[in-house]
């Protein structure tokens, strides 16, 4: 289009076109070409602006994706660390339990395991100030007297929840 406008301009300037009608028509064509060129330049500008704004949006979304990815990576790392910690704790507790279980008489261990299953994971409870810490009930005076009279080797049971009662210095006896 530019070439055509330049050619028209050249013809106009060369003096080759002499008829007023041709001159007028040539001039009109030059004007029309100039207008179309202006319109096309506006379109190009608009496309460039839209491209720029799309590019900005792409950058913004990429940043957000990176931020979310970083958060996900962080959460995964913390989960893995927590899992590792729990695994180690489980291993330690399991080892400790094995050691303790090895020192408990077989029949008592069997009773404890049975009660543990029946009583939601707690087979033995501390007797604390005359109260069973398994079921939270206070022993009545008869029960307290029975506990007092029992030898240290006797395996005591809570009359209410049937858990093994463990006597300590704080049992309130």
Contact 140, 171 (CB under 8 A): no
Q: From residue 45 to residue 84, what is the string marking binding to Zn ion with x (rule CB under 5 A)?
A: ----------------------------------------
Query: How near is the Cβ of 158 to Zn ion at its closest, in Å?
Result: 3
Q: Which is nearer to Zn ion, 52 or 113 (CB)?
A: 113
Contact 172, 130 (CB under 8 A): yes
**Main-chain phi, psi angles of 58, to 5 degrees:** -60, -45
Q: Which is nearer to Zn ion, 30 or 165 (CB)?
A: 165
DSSP 1-67: -HHHHHHHHHHHHHT----HHHHHHHHHHHHHHHHHHHHHHHHHHHHHHHHHHHHHHHHHHHHHHHH
Query: How near is the Cβ of 79 to Zn ion at its closest, in Å?
Result: 38
Query: How near is the Cβ of 127 to Zn ion at its closest, in Å?
Result: 9
Q: From residue 87 to residue 126, what is the string marking binding to Zn ion with x (rule CB under 5 A)?
A: ----------------------------------------
Q: From residue 121 to residue 160, what is the string marking binding to Zn ion with x (rule CB under 5 A)?
A: -----------x-xx----------------------x-x
CA 5 to the chain's CA centroid: 64
Q: Which is nearer to Zn ion, 123 or 134 (CB)?
A: 134
Binding residues for Zn ion, total number by CB under 5 A: 6
Please state, in angstroms and as integers, the Cα–Cα distance from residue 77 to each residue in 1, 23, 25, 72, 73, following that order: 62, 80, 77, 9, 6
Q: Which residues bind Zn ion (CB under 5 A)?
A: 132, 134-135, 158, 160-161
């Amino acid at each position: 289009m530019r070439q055509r406008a330049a050619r028209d301009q050249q013809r106009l300037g060369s003096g080759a076109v002499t008829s007023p009608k041709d001159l007028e028509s040539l001039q009109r064509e030059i004007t029309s070409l100039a207008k179309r060129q202006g319109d096309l330049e506006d379109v190009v500008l608009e496309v460039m602006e839209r491209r720029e704004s799309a590019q900005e949006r792409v950058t913004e979304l990429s940043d957000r994706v990176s931020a979310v990815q970083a958060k996900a990576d962080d959460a995964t790392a913390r989960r893995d660390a927590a899992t590792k910690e729990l695994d180690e704790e489980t291993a330690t507790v399991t080892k400790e339990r094995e050691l303790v279980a090895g020192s408990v008489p077989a029949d008592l261990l069997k009773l404890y395991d049975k009660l543990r299953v029946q009583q939601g994971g707690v087979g033995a409870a501390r007797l604390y100030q005359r109260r069973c810490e398994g079921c939270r009930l206070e022993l009545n005076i008869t029960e307290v007297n029975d506990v007092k009279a029992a030898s240290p080797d006797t395996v005591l049971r809570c009359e209410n929840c049937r858990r093994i009662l463990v006597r300590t210095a704080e049992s309130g006896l």
